[in-house]
Amino acid sequence: EDQVTQSPEALRLQEGESSSLNCSYTVSGLRGLFWYRQDPGKGPEFLFTLYSAGEEKEKERLKATLTKKESFLHITAPKPEDSATYLCAAPGYIFGTGTRLKVLA
């Protein structure tokens, strides 16, 4: 059964404390791995698409990487405004349950 699993469920960081979020997947014939950010009461905001192992993409303090079995979302020197739930997803509308990130000032 195709599955996407995210860890940790929740993460609290001090401002400036870098960390990584994990998304592991078991999807046959992966045709992309997507990362989204969701703020409370809002729809998910598209961040990245990764298509092949070894691919990396960056946006401001975020960098997403992909291996054959998992993807990481690295957050460098986070700020309080980075606090949100980060979702990963595979085509076939398979979403992970998300990581709730809280960055403390």
Partner 1 sequence: GAVVSQHPSWVICKSGTSVKIECRSLDFQATTMFWYRQFPKQSLMLMATSNEGSKATYEQGVEKDKFLINHASLTLSTLTVTSAHPEDSSFYICSAQREYNEQFFGPGTRLTVL
Contact present, 100 and 54 (Cβ < 8 Å): no
DSSP state of 80: G
CB of 31 to partner 1, least distance (A): 6
Contact present, 4 and 94 (Cβ < 8 Å): yes
CB of 48 to partner 1, least distance (A): 10
**Contact call for residue 80 and partner 1 (CB under 8 A):** no
Phi, psi of 89 (to 5 degrees): -155, 150
Sign of CA dihedral 73, 7, 95, 33: positive
* Binds partner 1 (CB under 8 A): choice among 15, 45, 56, 58: 45
CB of 98 to partner 1, least distance (A): 6
Q: Which residues bind partner 1 (CB under 8 A)?
A: 31-32, 34, 36, 41-46, 49, 51, 87, 89, 91, 93, 95-98, 100
